[in-house]
Structure 1
Amino acid sequence: MPLFSVFMKGRGTHFNFHLWLALQFVLIAFTFGIGVENQSVRCIAAEKRALLDFKKGLADYDNLLASWTSEDEECCKWKGVGCNHTTGHVLMLDLRPRFNYDDYDRSTSWMPLSGEIGSSLLELKQLNHLDLSFNGFQKIPEFMGSLTELTYLNLSSNSLTGFIPQQLGNLSRLLYLDLSNPYQMMSDNLEWVSRLSSLKLLKFGSTNFTKATNWLQVIRSHPTLSILHFEECDFPEVDPSSLSKTNSSNSLSVLHLTSFSLRPSAFPLLLSISSKLVELDFSYNDILSWIPDSFDNTPYLERINFWQNNLQGGIPKSLGNLCSLKELNLGNNKLSGALTVAVKHLSGCAKDSLEILTLGINRFNGSLPSFQPFSSLRELDVEYNRLSGHFQDNFGNFSKLKVLNFDGNRFTGPFPDLSRLSSLRKLSLRRNRLEGPLPVRIGNMSQLVLLDVSSNSLHGVISEAHLFNLTKLRLLFISFNALSFNLSSDWIPLFQLDYIDMSSCELGPKFPSWLRKQTNFSHLDISHSNISDTIPAWFWNLPSKLMFLNLSSNKFGGSVPNLPLKFDYNPSIYLSWNLFSGPIPTFLSNSTVLDLSNNMFSGALSFLCMKEESRLNYLDLSNNLFSGRIPDCWSKNWRLSVINLENNNLSGVIPTSLGSVEPLESLRLRNTSLYGEIPNSLQNCTELKLLDVGENKLTGGIPSWIGERLQSLIVLRLRSNEFHGDLPSTICQQQFLQVLDLSLNNISGTIPSCLNNLTAMAHLGSSDITIQYAFDQVDADYRGDSNSDIHISANFDDHLLVIWKGVEQEYGKTLGLLKVIDLSCNKLSGEIPKEIASLRGLISLNLSTNMLKGSITGVIGQLIALESLDLSANHLSGEIPQSLSRLSFLSVLDLSNNNLSGKIPSGTQLQSFNATSYSENPGLCGAPLRKCPGDETPNPPNTGSMESDEESFEPLWFFTGMTAGFLIGFWGIFGSLLVNRSWRHRYFHMVKKSADWIRLTVALNMAKLHRILRLRG
């Protein structure tokens, strides 16, 4: 990283405003005649001794000072020492380690030089440049205030703590002072800064200024300070009245206040700190405020960065009046309102100068406004807002626009034709709702480097015309659309892609042959692409820069060749859900993530032992045909977070060396024919969240250390083994446990009454829907222009087979919602502890097929979330508790094969179950079983009176007689008409005459009524 370069966090934008300051120091160096390493003048003996004494107080871990020896008289040639060509005096001491500062991680403990900064430096009477940055020094000595010739002092990125000595205020010639550090320093006041009368640049980092009540006055009144950086510092509240007698600064042009909680009251005060401000950076703070409409007081502002705060409201009009404004970053806030209004407020004279506009990750809504007035715009970022409507070409004939990012909005309609933006290098419209085909004219955008249209609703065909002229394209993201490729088998692309992301597109059924000419990619994802083919041999000659490869969920067959491939990084490789067979090639062991699950790979797992040390974080080899023993070399794979070997043809014991994988969070060895005991070494894996060794032949007792040591467990599944002995009470110490499945074993003894200590089951709901693991994997920063790598976090959701409502089901995305206890098919005895009823979040409880006795606890109704309850095949007795009828979510119930008695409690819930839920309980009665004694409808009382008996049967005789009369009368008439033809004719003739008479009577009466009404009218 160049010494004076400032990196604008969050968006990768460099502010090079103060390059002029770097040039000043270069001129100073030449003015004083500094010579380094190759000068012929001999250094002064006293200063040489001073340097050697200084070295004695240091621990030099990287031999940075190896050239500093007493035998070498030419100390001006020592590494990091610069002298005056004429006098031989040491003028410069630069002991920065030489490495890539862009990749430096201040959180690491790496430090080339450490120890005390010795006072022997005072012998260097003309020392004017001292740089001890990026080392491990812990204290700033007070004597540094006596190095009065210093013009440059850099102690940044050390391990400095304690108070900053106020003696530094004696350095009146100092131009540059950098005290930015990762550790907490303190300063009671900043008065000593006022005495640095020549100071141009000042940097503080991780410093506590909470007692420096006058900090803002000092800054405003400093006569020469031009550049000021505060990072991760703490300040007290500012009293505005204390500034009434202090004029704003006449020299401050660059102000960076980042990564600390800035009080809203100080926000407007800092905006008016200087009328000469050119650059303002308040990023990564917690400013909960509106943006003040006071930028008319800072007319020279060129760059404003308010990235990642809590700014609310809209954009003030005064921002649009900044005629020199070039960069405006308001991203990652809570700004709201119509985007058309916000853009209108920026349409003052700022529209002619603005080059970079970042409004992403806010709450702007409405349609896409016109950006045509912003003729100087080079980069426009409005990602992840709430914009809607059709995405239209509202950009005019922009000749300078290079970056256009509208990710994560709600745009609909067809994909726009933006081919007129001839200079565009990055076009990103992912995660919208665009539909229809991709315009063919996108192939005319010859300057495109990045094209991201992933996660839309695009459909249609991509032909060679779409890609013909994209010669500079390096990053292509079209995944999660319904696009298909129609490219000839001999088509040769004119681009070399670094990122190829085409997941869920239609690429098959043949393997895409045009990939043969893509020899430089770092990221390739063609998963879910409907390819059913053997991968050609040329493909496996993978680039050395590979970081990510995903071929999963296709129908690839054949074997993966064992090639001597070496990678610059440790890639993430996903080949799951295919038809691959044969052994695993050794080059795959170089991965960070390796997912080969659901294939037909076979052979031994010896490839895991090939490397001296592995960088694997995630290993999934489940559902294959691997055989043999699990190798006992896991100490070489000590970084692993997830191991899944389930459903293979493995055998043998669980290897002891698994206990050396201390970061392990998920271990799945289900259905692998393992035998023996669980090794005690696994108690070292204290980060385990999921342990599944079910469906094996494991023996021995359940170790007590599972409860004592593995206290992060969420899932413990030991189902279908040969475990015996008592259930250890230490299991109750699992406060995060949500799934406990010990079924189908030989566990005896009683159920511990302390189960109410399983606190995760005692609460309703869940804090996490799924069980997720996060760890770093290498990937490229595809938004940048460089190929520099970064570490990004990969998240994986775990899954589990659970017997749920009598059926084995797999849970993944909702696994974290399950709260299950299954102790069925064991030899448990004693009573069901009433404490189990306090597990109010429990969804499924299965204690069936044991030897439990006693009654069902009367407070079982407290399990209000219970959906499945199975207590069948035990020796339970007594009545079913009334509280059980209150479980409104209960959909599966089995109480059969017990000695329960009495009446089933009434209530729609319990009566809705099938009779088999209660069968084989001889003393049990009530719906849906037989009626209980005394439930029959009682007979009316017998008075002994014949009259009363006749009255009581009167309704029966009445309805009987009425029915008989109806049948005799109906068939007597209707039957006669059917038999006697003459009667039938007379009957219908009579009906016809009656109908005619009725019609005539009605007609006459209606005529008479009309006449009366007419006369009255």
Structure 2
Amino acid sequence: MIIGEVFFKHFYVWVAVVLLILCMEMKPGLGSLTTSRVGDDAKVRCIERERQALLEFKEGLIDDYGILSSWGSAEEKKDCCKWRGVRCSNSTGHVIMLNVHAKFYLQPLRGKISPSLLELHHLKHLDLSVNDFNGSRIPEFIGSFSRLKYLNLRETGFLGTIPNQFGNLSELRYLDLRFNGYLSAKSVEWVSHLSLLKYLDLSYVDLSEAIDWMEVTNKLPLLTELYLFDCELHSIIPPSLPLINSSASLAVVNLLGNHLTSSIYNWLFNFNTSLADVELPFNNLQGPIPDAFGNLNSLALLQLSFNQLEGGIPKSLGNLSSLRTLDLSHNNLTGQISEFAHMLSGGTEKSLEILDLGGNRLGGSLPDNISTFSSLRRLHLADNQLHGSLPGSLGQLGTLVSVDLSFNQITGLFPNLTAFSSLKELVLANNQLTGTLPRSIGQFSMLERLDVSSNFLEGPILPFPPNVTLLNLSRNKFSGSISFLCAAINEKVKFIMFSYNQLSGKLPDCWMHMKELVALDLANNNLSGKIPQSFGFLTKAKTLHLRNNNFIGELPSSLKNCRKLITLDVGENKLSGKIPTWIGTHLTSLIFLCLRLNKFHEHIPLNICHLNSIQILDLSQNNISGIIPQCFNNFAALVRRNKSIENFSFIYQVPDADNFDVVYLENALVLWKGQEFEYKNTLGLIGSIDISSNSLVGQIPEEISCLAKLVSLNLSKNSLTGHVIQKISELKMLESLDLSSNQLSGEIPASITHLNFLAVLNLSNNNLSGKIPSSTQLQSFDASAYAGNNELCGLPLPNTCPGDETTLDPSVTNRGKDNIIQGDEDGFINQEFYISMGLGFGVGFGGVVGTLLLQRSWEHILFKLLNSTNDWLYVTTAVNMARLRRWLQS
């Protein structure tokens, strides 16, 4: 009794003492906790079994960059709650977050995901993104993390089907599986069980068989953002699809790059009260743009580019007072640009910040009321049919950051744009602008990219904006010196393009101040003097064009420091000296090397064979002597071309807040099929060696037959002896072969008949003999291709070979040429004969005449037209694909 009274009397004291001890020794939680002491203070660490689970997870990974270096068993590393990427609950000590995503694409974790992670029963956040799990399948056990709210497995290299067990993640709010190129799902029914999901990104997952994707997304009442771009989706609307969607909160729909047709509108317009962002580019939308888009009252972004939309732009879009971005580029829209501007005057013009209508068929001139678009930051109307001069009101849009009006028919003087205080990008290329650049252009302190190429501008080049990084003035009539570069250019400049003008004088010697320069194009001017040694400071340069000027002297040895060069074109100058050996030892990234039409002499250095990436080598029209090196088979790109080198163009993305893209399209003049063509985006498909018009002697090395990717070979106008290489048939891609004006002897090898793509052949003016091998192709060439070989015979030459003469029966001869075959009395002339003859004639006619047609001069005109059209298509696509990649990565 006394004991009980004492107990109850001091009960609260005992409770306080116990609680105090517990607070001093450990934090409350489940499972055993390890502790450590620092002085007199006790510090809680993570739960031991969870720590062991994480260590086992680490053992299954290959950590090349020490990302998990803070994880370990050492005493100072025992607290897993302090490990990089691990977060524990403040109240329980359990691991609730595992975030080991790779910050850089070049520093991923590799390996496999250990099932030991199942010990993390309280995990709420799992991010393994941008790592490399080497084509393994997504572990099904991830579907067992019942408390998971956030799951990010983007760009992890997974393949196979998405586990249906993901449907068990009933607490999930965020799911990102994008950019796993080989993931697929025949059905997404499991998604319908994620009723709390707000963010869903299955981009790049193959959903071509998932016809239930619309029904499933309708069942997600809290879904706010939906990203399904490039999923092979088809807009199959099931009969059971309700008219009213339960996911009334859907604000962002990005279905870029699928096979959706205009029937998708029926599903889309059900979200008319919530949609703020609609992106449907690169689909199969056709017909007019529906007026119903004007009913999406919350719409801030509408992106319908790269479809087949037709007709005008609906007036209803003018009702969207919240619209910030309108991108209808690259469709077949028609109408007058002034009418469209009037349509948007109902309120949209006050909110619109980005307007892109490029790549359509809009006509007319920019209206004066363009200045009412007071919030406009980006105006892109390139590649339409706009004409007339630019209105003065355009200069009143002080908010503009980017203007692209290229590839139109805009005339008049260069506009006065003094009010463009915020302008960073101005592209007026390929128009009909005249006059001179205004002096005020140098005051544009924000301007970084100026492209006025392919106009009729003239006069001297004036000082330009101090922060410019791209300056393209090519294909105009600018004249005078470029000595101003030393004073005007800033150290951040990356692109200088002045080609096809009338510039003169010497090059300034101040290139050491342009160390960021990527491309320099001064071709086709009247520049003179020596190439300055300071070019050696252009260590980041990838392309250097000095063709068709009047430069003299030797190539400066300092150029060997420009190790990133992929293009070096100094053709058609007056350069002299030996071909430098350092080209082969230092400029090993070269893909295109042109020394054509200069005064280089002596032999071809053997070091040239170290150019493993070379695809176009032009040493023609010099004074080069000696033999052709036998090591040409070291040109690896021509032996077995690397698939990654398909063109020389590269995209430079300017790292600023506006994320503009600068597309530099490499170009080269190549002597091709007897004519000179300028190649751009197709340049990487040309494998060419031209050493013609020199003083080379000796035999053609058999090693040249190893260059299976060679498309054009020109060794003409030398003093080569010996035979045509016997293995010439191994040059399977060869389209043009010129060995004329040498001293080659012997017969034409029969294997030449296996060159199925051969379209141009010139073997004239040699000492070849014997019969021209018989093939439909070889006989289709003009006789001039074989002329000057006195001992050659056979078609198409007029002289027949011995033994080829045929003697006709006199009785047949007397009937006359038109009556050799008179009927069926000869027995073998029957119906089958006529059928066979007809088929043979058809095939022969198609083969011979078709080949002749494709080989004649009009082919060059057609080819040039197609090449130019292809270049334009490439630039347009490159710009938009760069934007696409940026969207995908953002």
* Same fold by TM-score greater than 0.5: yes
User: Could you tell me which residue of structure 1 aligns to residue 146 of structure 2?
Assistant: 148
CA gap of 1:305–1:703, structure 2 versus 1, over 3 A, is same
User: Could you tell me which residue of structure 2 aligns to residue 727 of structure 1?
Assistant: 748
Letter in 1 for 2:363: N
User: Could you tell me which residue of structure 1 aligns to residue 691 of structure 2?
Assistant: 669
> Following TM superposition, by how much is the alpha carbon of 1:331 offset from its aligned partner in structure 2, in angstroms?
1.0
Q: Secondary structure at the match of 2:191?
A: helix
User: Could you tell me which residue of structure 2 aligns to residue 917 of structure 1?
Assistant: none
Which residue among 472, 493, 496 is the counterpart of 1:524?
496
> Following TM superposition, by how much is the alpha carbon of 1:116 offset from its aligned partner in structure 2, in angstroms?
2.4
Q: Secondary structure at the match of 2:606?
A: coil
Letter in 1 for 2:502: N
CA RMSD of aligned residues (A): 3.5
Letter in 1 for 2:60: G
Deviations 1:831-888 (A, max 9, x none): 42xxxxxxxxxxxx6x4789678579999999668999xxxxxxxxxxxxxxxxxx99
Q: Is the 8 A contact 1:672 1:695 kept in 2?
A: yes
> Following TM superposition, by how much is the alpha carbon of 1:534 offset from its aligned partner in structure 2, in angstroms?
3.0
Q: Secondary structure at the match of 1:299?
A: coil
**Does 1:225 pair with 2:226?**
no
User: Could you tell me which residue of structure 1 aligns to residue 789 of structure 2?
Assistant: 826
Q: Secondary structure at the match of 1:627?
A: strand
User: Could you tell me which residue of structure 2 aligns to residue 631 of structure 1?
Assistant: 605
User: Aligned runs of 1:390-401 on 2, under 5 Å?
Assistant: 390-395=389-394, 397-401=396-400
User: Aligned runs of 1:85-484 on 2, under 5 Å?
Assistant: 85=90, 87-99=92-104, 112-137=108-133, 138=135, 139-239=137-237, 241-244=239-242, 247=245, 249-273=247-271, 275-369=273-367, 370-395=369-394, 397-419=396-418, 424-433=423-432, 456=433, 458-459=434-435, 461=436, 465-467=439-441, 469-484=443-458
Q: Secondary structure at the match of 1:732?
A: helix
CA gap of 1:198–1:735, structure 2 versus 1, over 3 A, is same
Letter in 2 for 1:96: H
**Does 1:747 pair with 2:718?**
no
Deviations 1:597-652 (A, max 9, x none): 12222222234456456221210001122223212234532122211011222223
Letter in 1 for 2:578: A
CA gap of 1:599–1:850, structure 2 versus 1, over 3 A, is farther
> Following TM superposition, by how much is the alpha carbon of 1:533 offset from its aligned partner in structure 2, in angstroms?
2.6
Query: How many equivalent residue pairs?
Result: 723
Rounded Cα–Cα distance in structure 2 between residues aligned with 1:387 and 1:852? 68
User: Aligned runs of 1:993-1008 on 2, under 5 Å?
Assistant: none
Letter in 2 for 1:627: H
Deviations 1:150-194 (A, max 9, x none): 221111112222111010111112121111124132212222111
Rounded Cα–Cα distance in structure 1 between residues aligned with 2:693 and 2:555? 21
Q: Structure 1: which 5+ residue stretches go unaligned?
A: 1-38, 105-109, 434-455, 763-817, 833-844, 869-886, 890-1017
User: Percent of aligned positions with the same letter in both sequences?
Assistant: 35
Q: Is the 8 A contact 1:156 1:180 kept in 2?
A: yes
Q: Is the 8 A contact 2:696 2:720 kept in 1?
A: yes
Deviations 1:661-688 (A, max 9, x none): 2324011111232233333333332221
Deviations 1:106-143 (A, max 9, x none): xxxx7833332221111122222222222222211111
- After the TM superposition, which of the residue ranges 729-738 and 524-533 deviates more from structure 2? 524-533
Letter in 2 for 1:826: N
Rounded Cα–Cα distance in structure 1 between residues aligned with 2:198 and 2:758? 59
Letter in 2 for 1:98: K
- After the TM superposition, which of the residue ranges 290-299 and 471-480 deviates more from structure 2? 471-480
User: Could you tell me which residue of structure 2 aligns to residue 756 of structure 1?
Assistant: 776
User: Could you tell me which residue of structure 1 aligns to residue 667 of structure 2?
Assistant: none
Rounded Cα–Cα distance in structure 2 between residues aligned with 1:208 and 1:179? 11
Letter in 2 for 1:580: F
Rounded Cα–Cα distance in structure 2 between residues aligned with 1:330 and 1:50? 52
- TM (norm. structure 2) is 0.74
> Following TM superposition, by how much is the alpha carbon of 1:564 offset from its aligned partner in structure 2, in angstroms?
8.1
Runs (4+) off by over 6 Å: 491-494, 818-821, 848-853, 855-863, 865-868
Q: Is the 8 A contact 1:407 1:432 kept in 2?
A: yes
Which residue among 33, 45, 48 is the counterpart of 1:45?
48
- TM (norm. structure 1) is 0.65
User: Could you tell me which residue of structure 2 aligns to residue 643 of structure 1?
Assistant: 617
Q: Structure 2: which 5+ residue stretches go unaligned?
A: 1-41, 639-686, 808-816, 818-840, 859-890
Letter in 2 for 1:747: L
Q: Secondary structure at the match of 1:541?
A: helix
CA gap of 1:156–1:352, structure 2 versus 1, over 3 A, is same
Q: Is the 8 A contact 1:519 1:542 kept in 2?
A: yes
Q: Is the 8 A contact 2:245 2:270 kept in 1?
A: no
Letter in 1 for 2:410: F
CA gap of 1:245–1:820, structure 2 versus 1, over 3 A, is farther
Rounded Cα–Cα distance in structure 1 between residues aligned with 2:714 and 2:857? 32
Rounded Cα–Cα distance in structure 2 between residues aligned with 1:479 and 1:492? 17
Q: Secondary structure at the match of 1:650?
A: strand
Q: Is the 8 A contact 1:223 1:251 kept in 2?
A: yes
Q: Secondary structure at the match of 1:580?
A: strand
> Following TM superposition, by how much is the alpha carbon of 1:296 offset from its aligned partner in structure 2, in angstroms?
4.6
Letter in 1 for 2:776: N
Q: Is the 8 A contact 2:502 2:525 kept in 1?
A: yes
Q: Is the 8 A contact 1:620 1:644 kept in 2?
A: yes
CA gap of 1:734–1:172, structure 2 versus 1, over 3 A, is same
User: Could you tell me which residue of structure 2 aligns to residue 718 of structure 1?
Assistant: 739
CA gap of 1:82–1:638, structure 2 versus 1, over 3 A, is farther
> Following TM superposition, by how much is the alpha carbon of 1:531 offset from its aligned partner in structure 2, in angstroms?
3.9
- After the TM superposition, which of the residue ranges 502-511 and 292-301 deviates more from structure 2? 502-511
Q: Is the 8 A contact 1:240 1:269 kept in 2?
A: no
- After the TM superposition, which of the residue ranges 653-662 and 496-505 deviates more from structure 2? 496-505
> Following TM superposition, by how much is the alpha carbon of 1:275 offset from its aligned partner in structure 2, in angstroms?
2.9
Q: Secondary structure at the match of 2:516?
A: coil
**Does 1:581 pair with 2:559?**
no
Which residue among 627, 632, 635 is the counterpart of 1:653?
627
CA gap of 1:484–1:381, structure 2 versus 1, over 3 A, is closer
> Following TM superposition, by how much is the alpha carbon of 1:42 offset from its aligned partner in structure 2, in angstroms?
3.0
Q: Secondary structure at the match of 1:294?
A: helix
> Following TM superposition, by how much is the alpha carbon of 1:509 offset from its aligned partner in structure 2, in angstroms?
4.7
Rounded Cα–Cα distance in structure 2 between residues aligned with 1:563 and 1:645? 25
Which residue among 613, 616, 619 is the counterpart of 2:590?
616
Q: Is the 8 A contact 1:278 1:302 kept in 2?
A: yes
Q: Secondary structure at the match of 1:208?
A: coil
Rounded Cα–Cα distance in structure 1 between residues aligned with 2:87 and 2:450? 50
Deviations 1:206-232 (A, max 9, x none): 223233232111112211111110021
Letter in 1 for 2:430: R
Q: Is the 8 A contact 2:584 2:609 kept in 1?
A: no
> Following TM superposition, by how much is the alpha carbon of 1:580 offset from its aligned partner in structure 2, in angstroms?
2.0
Q: Is the 8 A contact 2:708 2:731 kept in 1?
A: yes
Rounded Cα–Cα distance in structure 1 between residues aligned with 2:857 and 2:633? 45
> Following TM superposition, by how much is the alpha carbon of 1:368 offset from its aligned partner in structure 2, in angstroms?
2.9
User: Could you tell me which residue of structure 2 aligns to residue 912 of structure 1?
Assistant: none
> Following TM superposition, by how much is the alpha carbon of 1:363 offset from its aligned partner in structure 2, in angstroms?
1.0
Q: Secondary structure at the match of 2:636?
A: coil
Rounded Cα–Cα distance in structure 1 between residues aligned with 2:264 and 2:460? 60
Q: Secondary structure at the match of 2:728?
A: helix
Q: Is the 8 A contact 1:613 1:636 kept in 2?
A: no
Letter in 2 for 1:724: S
CA gap of 1:507–1:388, structure 2 versus 1, over 3 A, is closer
